[in-house]
Each structure stands twice: as C-alpha cells, then as structure tokens.
C-alpha cells in the first residue's frame, strides 16, 4: 500500500469537491455491491452489468446507493474529500495513473490492502492489491464521498 501522503505533484484536485448525494450509504454495503459484480467483463464505455469500464463501474455501484458520480475518471477525482493512504476505508474511491499521464483509472477500496475495479480490455471486474508491484507505484490518491 502506498506509504506517503498525497503530494502537490500527485494530488492536484481541490480538497473538497461535490457529488450529488441523495441518501446516506454504508461503505461496507457499497463494497458488497461492488464485489457482487466480480466477473463482469470490461467494456470500453460500459456503464452496466453487461460490461464496465473503470469509471462506469464506480458510477454504477455508487448509483445503487443514491450517489451520483460524474462519468469520467478525472471528474470523479475532483469530488469528495481527500483521503490519506493510511486512512482508506471501504467504499473510498482510489485513483491511479495507467494509460495516460495523471489520473486515468479509478477503483473502490475494499478494505485493508484490497480494491475492486474494472481493469483493461482483457479483464473482468476483480479484486487486486494496492501494494502490488503494478498498482503500488501507480497510486495517485483517494477520495471519500460523504453526505
């Protein structure tokens, strides 16, 4: 898991953005909903259980709890409260740099060292580790969506 707090170089979004929240939600229940979608295929532009891309997945899961997230990764990175790596909780959004410079991938923290996401075109919705050799160095920051 990343060991340092986000820096100005990696976490340039404002500390508090906005997301339309219509009802309170439980992070553990949200994670349960996300985990129930494991095995769903990746589909570029996908926003439903027929197939998801990363931000379509997070948007869909949060919508099940009355939370409206923006559609794109970069827009999702601007909402909610900044969360330090050591304070990650189930249901937090976690962000990475992958295909493009800056934020280009989003996932949902499960708890501990794990997150669930819709990875690249060869994948399915699955759980991975923040501390892995691939994801650890690509971690950019996290956001907590609150009422």
Q: Is 143 annotated as catalytic?
A: no
Q: What are all long-range contacts of 10-15, with beta carbons under 8 Å and residues at least 24 apart?
A: 10/140, 10/141, 11/82, 11/140, 11/141, 13/77, 13/78, 13/82, 13/141, 13/143, 14/78, 15/81, 15/82
pLDDT in tens, 62-105: 999 999 999 999 999 999 999 999 999 999 999 999 988 899 99
The mean pLDDT value of the chain amounts to 86
From 106, 117, 135, 140, active-site residue: 117
Predicted local confidence at residue 122, as pLDDT = 80
For 1-147, strand residue ranges (E) read 20-21, 47-48, 51-52, 67-68, 81-83, 93-96, 105-111, 114-117, 126-129, 139-144
Beta-carbon contacts of 98 under 8 Å, excluding residues fewer than 6 positions away, are: 104, 105, 120, 138
Q: Which is the catalytic residue, given 13, 30, 34, 54?
A: 54
Asked about 129 being catalytic, the answer comes back as no
Is 117 labeled as catalytic in the residue annotation?
yes
**What confidence tier does 17 reach under pLDDT thresholds 50, 70, 90?**
very low
Indicate the pTM of the whole model: 0.84
Domains (ranges, CATH) in the chain?
20-144 (3.90.1720.10)
């Amino acid at each position: 898991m990343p060991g340092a707090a986000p820096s100005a170089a990696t976490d340039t979004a404002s500390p508090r953005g906005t997301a339309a929240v219509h009802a309170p939600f439980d992070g553990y229940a949200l994670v349960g909903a996300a985990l129930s979608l494991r095995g769903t295929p990746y589909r570029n532009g996908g926003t439903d259980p027929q197939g998801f891309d990363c931000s379509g997945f997070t948007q869909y899961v949060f919508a099940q709890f009355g939370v409206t997230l923006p559609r794109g990764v970069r827009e999702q990175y601007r909402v909610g409260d900044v969360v330090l790596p050591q304070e990650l909780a189930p249901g937090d959004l976690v962000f990475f740099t992958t295909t493009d410079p800056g934020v280009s991938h989003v996932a949902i923290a499960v708890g501990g060292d794990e997150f669930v996401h819709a990875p690249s075109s060869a994948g399915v919705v699955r759980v991975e580790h923040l501390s892995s050799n691939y994801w650890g160095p690509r971690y950019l920051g996290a956001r907590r969506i609150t009422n």
